[in-house]
Amino acid sequence: MARIKEAKKVLKAIVGEKNFSDDPIVCQAYSRGGYGKFFWDRGRKVPGCVVLPGSTQEVQSIVKVANRYRMPFIPIGTFFISLCVPTEPNTIMVDMKRMDQLVIDEENMLALVEPYVTYTELVTEAMKVGLYTSAPSCGAQVSVLANHLNQGMGQLVHRVGYANRRVLAAEWVLPNGEILKTGSAALLEDYFWGEGPGPDLRGLMRGWFGHYGGMGIVTKMAVKLFHLPFRGIPEQMGISPRTAFKLPEDRFKWFVLYYPDSIKAVDAMYQIGHAEIGAVVVRIPFIWRYISQAKSREDFWEQWEKHRPSEGEVTPSMVRVLLCGFTSKEQLEYEERVLRDIAKETGSEIREATPFSSGHVFKLGISNNPAVPAGFFGVTKYAFDSFDHARRALQETKDLKKRVIPPFVDDREESGWMQSYDMGHIGYGEFFSYYDRSMTDLFEEYQEASIRHDIGMRAFPSAHFPQYEHILGPAMMNYDRIMREVGETFDPLHISNPPRMAPTRRIKRNNRQRGEDHGNKKSA
């Protein structure tokens, strides 16, 4: 229609002809999910166009055009998480690939990143000056900025904390096109400080689990970096697919603590947190021993069928701990003594583990190995509270799991991944479900049942599932109403990745208000 044609003309003028495309083939490449494919991208639409902005000013102009012509827009980084698939016609995909500037401030231990800087790039450059951050478990190929906005889970978070603690100042193009600078950037051309002035707007910007582009576009962000006990790129080893890098052996050591069940494992994880030692503290599901070593899917199944626990047998708990002598060799020695004491007190067998996978916690290169058993995977139980809660939430999933196993892969797991954040202040837990493409519908049912189950046991299911906000909202203090108010204040036209910021919002199009709520049920 004429309105859309005109808008596209304006967008082309903003970014330049070669950074604009509305070709159906080009747009097709932005219409599907990745992780979460076939169910998180239900109702997908092919976008109206794709733009590649090169600056904050271009981003602002694009957002203003979107507002003027009432076209939805979605900012994307590496687009691994599929909750950014367009669901409205004529969506403008704002692909941030040209905005990839990275500046590392060694003295102040921070990095200023634009949206298309990946963790691989950041950690590589940071290591050269003796700094690092935690690469997320979804892989080091993802966007630093997007990941800090939305999640920020990686194994090194035991020490460096969840991403919400690592965001400093930011430059933010709001859904209405205004530019807001937070923290020190509001006063100075310097991004070193994130708090205030006034209310801490990082809560609005990312909250606990982010908004997937539902609150405009962050075009710059400073993120904390942390001290490493060496400078330079570590020695790199191996040829694909078995590659790694070697960390200094006098400063890094891996241990595994073996427990017959998760009760003692959790006890140990708490104690390690209390003692404030370690760089990584994670309970790994037994099945992962075979996933991570598998040479192929068939190899995985051969090994798994040989070694998996019998039905009904409690899976052993392995807690992997990375100790690091950040300050000195003596610190490493001290932490090892403390860890061995904890192991003794909690009755575990402790063994020094192979350092081969050290590189992966700094620059995880294999983000897709949950796909090894069956091709598709999804997290169906999140716990993001305390270790005790994580353990209970995961264990009480047994009956729920029976509904889907079979046909889902039976991981014979009484617990799941449990990870320490912030020295044990947060105990994170998740269950993976491993399933085949043909079981996608069942996975969706399972996911909803899992959320209802969490609500039933008064757990705190992660707000990772905005499409379930009609269920979560009423059970969780009607938080979706706050989300809706925030959304309506900042994005009155609801064009910033609709249906984010509460799918229970009403969507306004042109000057007409739609009577029905978008997609899902009304909130209570």
Among positions 437-476, residues that touch another protein (CB under 8 A) are 437
Q: Which residue in the set 3, 6, 9, 28 belongs to the binding site for another protein (CB under 8 A)?
A: 28
Residue whose CB is less far from another protein, 36 or 273: 36
Helix (H) or strand (E) holding 266: helix 262-275
Contact set for another protein, span 172-211 (CB under 8 A): none
Residue type present at position 400 = L
DSSP string, 155-181: TTHHHH--GGGTEEEEEEE-TTS-EEE
Residue whose CB is less far from another protein, 8 or 202: 8
Nearest distance, CB of residue 24 and another protein, angstroms: 6
Residue whose CB is less far from another protein, 30 or 270: 30
Alpha-carbon gap, residue 508 to 502, rounded angstroms? 14
Residue type present at position 508 = K
Would you call the peptide bond into 197 cis, given omega within 30 degrees of 0 as the criterion? yes
Instruction: Locate the DSSP E strands across 337-395.
Output: 349-353, 376-385
257 exposure class (CB count in 10 Å sphere: 0-12, 13-18, 19+): buried
Q: Pairing mode, if any, of strands 92-95 and 73-76? A: parallel
Alpha-carbon gap, residue 394 to 379, rounded angstroms? 12
Residue whose CB is less far from another protein, 139 or 183: 139
Residue with tokens 């208000």: 513
Alpha-carbon gap, residue 441 to 124, rounded angstroms? 40
Residue whose CB is less far from another protein, 235 or 345: 235
What is the DSSP secondary structure assignment for residue 437, as one 8-state letter? Answer: G
Residue whose CB is less far from another protein, 53 or 416: 53
Select from 377, 376, 372 the least CA-distant residue to 294.
Answer: 372
Angle at 479 between CA 474 and CA 481, to 5 degrees: 90
Contact set for another protein, span 343-372 (CB under 8 A): 359, 363-369, 371-372
Q: Mask: binding to another protein, 216-255, rule CB under 8 A, as x and -? A: -----------------x--xxxxxxxxxx----------
Nearest distance, CB of residue 401 and another protein, angstroms: 17
Contact set for another protein, span 117-156 (CB under 8 A): 117-122, 124-125, 135, 138-142
Q: Pairing mode, if any, of strands 49-51 and 92-95? A: parallel
Q: Which residue in the set 19, 346, 504, 523 belongs to the binding site for another protein (CB under 8 A)?
A: 19
Contact set for another protein, span 35-64 (CB under 8 A): 35, 37-38, 46, 50, 52
Q: Which residue in the set 23, 352, 441, 485 belongs to the binding site for another protein (CB under 8 A)?
A: 23
Nearest distance, CB of residue 203 and another protein, angstroms: 29
Nearest distance, CB of residue 299 and another protein, angstroms: 8
Residue whose CB is less far from another protein, 46 or 449: 46
Q: Which residue in the set 6, 200, 250, 299 belongs to the binding site for another protein (CB under 8 A)?
A: 299
Q: Which residue in the set 39, 259, 434, 468 belongs to the binding site for another protein (CB under 8 A)?
A: 434
Q: Binding of another protein at residue 312 (CB under 8 A)?
A: no
Residue whose CB is less far from another protein, 245 or 384: 245
Which span (116-124, 168-176, 478-486, 496-504) binds another protein, by CB under 8 A?
Answer: 116-124
Q: How many residues bind another protein (CB under 8 A)?
A: 75
Q: Which residue in the set 4, 10, 12, 31 belongs to the binding site for another protein (CB under 8 A)?
A: 31
Residue whose CB is less far from another protein, 305 or 399: 305
Residue whose CB is less far from another protein, 391 or 464: 464
Alpha-carbon gap, residue 149 to 482, rounded angstroms? 19
Are 318 and 395 contacting, i.e. CB atoms less than 8 angstroms apart?
no
Q: Mask: binding to another protein, 403-432, rule CB under 8 A, as x and -? A: ----x-x-----------------------
Nearest distance, CB of residue 181 and another protein, angstroms: 25
Residue whose CB is less far from another protein, 119 or 255: 119
Q: At what angle do helices 2-15 and 56-69 cross, to 10 degrees?
A: 170
Q: Which value, in Å, is the radius of gyration of the alpha carbons in the chain?
A: 23
Q: Which residues contact 199 (CB under 8 A, 6 or more apart)?
A: none
Alpha-carbon gap, residue 164 to 162, rounded angstroms? 6
Q: Pairing mode, if any, of strands 102-105 and 92-95? A: unpaired
Nearest distance, CB of residue 94 and another protein, angstroms: 12
Nearest distance, CB of residue 298 and another protein, angstroms: 4
Query: Which residues face 281 on adjacent strands?
Result: 321
Nearest distance, CB of residue 296 and another protein, angstroms: 5
- DSSP helix/strand/coil, 470: helix
Nearest distance, CB of residue 37 and another protein, angstroms: 7
- DSSP helix/strand/coil, 116: coil
Residue whose CB is less far from another protein, 244 or 393: 244
Alpha-carbon gap, residue 175 to 66, rounded angstroms? 9
Residue whose CB is less far from another protein, 193 or 434: 434
b/e map of 435-466 (b: 16 or more CB within 10 Å)?
beeebbebbbebbeebbebbbeeebbbbbbbb
Q: Pairing mode, if any, of strands 376-385 and 426-435? A: antiparallel
Q: Mask: binding to another protein, 70-109, rule CB under 8 A, as x and -? A: --------xxx-x------------x-xx---x-------
Alpha-carbon gap, residue 308 to 286, rounded angstroms? 8
